[in-house]
Structure 1
Amino acid sequence: MRRPVLWGTVTTAVAMTVLGGATAHAEGRGDIRVTKAVTNNGKNVIIGTSKTVTFPIKLTIKDNSGVKSLRDIRAGNASSTAGAPVELVGTTCKKLSATTSECTATMRADPHDFPDYNSERNANDAAGDWCAYGNVQANDGDYWIFDWVAPFKLKRAATLTAAATGPSPLSGGRTVKVTGALTRADWEALEYRGYGGQSVRLQFRKTGASAYTTVKTVRTNSAGHVSATVTASGPGSWRWFYPGTSTTAQVASPGSTVTLAPATMHANVPRVMHAATAG
């Protein structure tokens, strides 16, 4: 039996602007405030189908009497009906000055808990915009109950493969066919499934170069498979790159290396191309 959503967006009476202009709802007493907040060091939180993920939420808290405690902190989806079982592991605080402390909350998400969390929603609906909310207290009794700080994206993990193959040696051409498959985590089924209708970029890095360059953009088919035929300008590595979405993580495939080998020394025998996949 699925568990109901345990938390949603905190509904409060007072609106104020904090953290670089982001609008938050809060209520409290006195001058205690969260002046800075960031989740997972500013990176997306990406969850697959098997591994438990932990991530920090760091808050800088200030009050003229000093900070007493971070009494409560949780993470929730921007939509109160599309939650996920992200749990608080624990908190630590360090004093930066007489008026300011930095508190870190460690959060944990186990994808095995996702399917049975909310009977009214598909577990994948939890992906998207998230934030932190909670309660901080000062030494003089001031307190602040806040929401919508440290916003972040909770995303479904993705995988992408690539394989570059050349023509028969007798053809003597330099045409390369690059195939691949894009999948993403299905939190409802706890498995990776093909992700169709997505634009992925075929990229090439010439041997000796430091970066990949996009050659063309192709859409995956309904099963998540992708294929393109290109003309190689020389030896190098081919890969697929998927930029991700607001709910699915960015991913790049491993490179698949193509080498151009000289043919046996006979007159009028062209150079031939061989393809090999690199890890």
Structure 2
Amino acid sequence: MRMRATLGVVTGALALSAVAVPAAQADEVHGDTTISNVVVNGGKAAVVGATTTKTITVSFTVKDDSGVDWAQAILYHGTDIESSDTGAVANSSDGRATCTVVSATTSNCKSTFDLDPGYNLNNASAGTWKVWAIAAGNDADYVQKDNAKSFLVQRLSKLTVNASPEPVAKGKTITVTGKLTRANWERGTYSGYSTQPVKLQFRKNGTSTYTTLKTIKTNSYGDLRTTVTASADGYFRYRFEGTTTTPAVSATGDFVDVR
């Protein structure tokens, strides 16, 4: 991946910075500099569609008794940054965070990152990512964290439902079909998500709560098909609870008139 080469350039450059910080090693602390309150994408998973680049923000607090000189974060997928298979560097020209002074000892730092399908995202990179972070004080103290925060990068999911026939006589069979798909970052489209448990739910007309009728699994193409007995007017939908790589999603309810 191109991003792996970029990561090597950025982390290597840190060793040549004003503080001689070893690149991409395990956590290191020299002096009293600290990094805390790391928040990625507002605390939510970063859900990315098939083709559109998603920009996320990473914020954190840096403290040092001499004041904060600079800070930087890098996002990566893998056991550690040295063995990462992909990642993202900050959108700033020098890769560093923008730090706002809060007090003589504290700054709030922030960077934005682009997650781009087909560039630094492939299907295998969905799941847990980490934030590598470093910060330095005005007195050359520094802290480096290999995993300052873990977060999820997920493939956007879509779910459909169709209940038929409609209208239908009470006691007759209703067939409910649907399809669960998710972003295929390598092809720039949406592909069926196979062998996943999906709930068939029903909401009686005039009520606001869905009740689970049964759980079935998608086939190898992501398709869903099951039957129920018609009992009352209402809405049928499928509900997928999600995985680490793919967010939860509900289909829009399909109304069936039972006569």
Structure 1-normalised TM-score? 0.76
Q: Deviations over 1:173-228 (max 9, x none)?
A: 35322110011122222221112111111112223333322211001111111012
Deviation, structure 1 residue 232 = 4.1
Separation of aligned partners in 1, 2:243 and 2:254: 25
Aligned match of 1:136: 135
Separation of aligned partners in 2, 1:211 and 1:160: 19
Matched, 1:252 2:250: yes
Conserved? CA contact 2:3–2:86, under 8 Å: no
Gaps of 5+ in 1: 11-23, 116-122, 261-271, 273-279
Deviation, structure 1 residue 87 = 3.7
Conserved? CA contact 2:160–2:178, under 8 Å: yes
Aligned match of 1:109: 115
2:100 to 76, 91, 94: 94
Q: Deviations over 1:214-256 (max 9, x none)?
A: 2110011111110121234422221111111121222211111
Separation of aligned partners in 2, 1:252 and 1:196: 17
Gaps of 5+ in 2: 12-24
Structure 1 segments (4+ residues) deviating >4 Å = none
Conserved? CA contact 1:82–1:126, under 8 Å: no
CA RMSD of aligned residues (A): 2.4
Separation of aligned partners in 2, 1:102 and 1:113: 30
Aligned match of 1:161: 160
Matched, 1:42 2:43: yes
Deviation, structure 1 residue 161 = 0.5
Separation of aligned partners in 1, 2:221 and 2:50: 19
Aligned AA for 1:29?
Answer: H
Separation of aligned partners in 2, 1:112 and 1:52: 10
Aligned match of 1:13: none
Separation of aligned partners in 2, 1:97 and 1:155: 37
Aligned AA for 1:243?
Answer: E
Aligned match of 1:18: none
Secondary structure in 2 aligned to 1:162? strand
Deviation, structure 1 residue 4 = 6.3
Aligned pair in 2 of structure 1 residues 140, 87: CA closer, same or farther (>3 Å)? Answer: closer
How many equivalent pairs are there? 237
Aligned match of 1:218: 216
Aligned match of 1:64: 65
Matched, 1:3 2:2: yes
Aligned match of 2:34: 33
Separation of aligned partners in 1, 2:128 and 2:225: 32
Report which of the two structures shows the higher radius of gyration computed on alpha carbons: 1
Conserved? CA contact 2:167–2:256, under 8 Å: no
Separation of aligned partners in 2, 1:4 and 1:155: 18
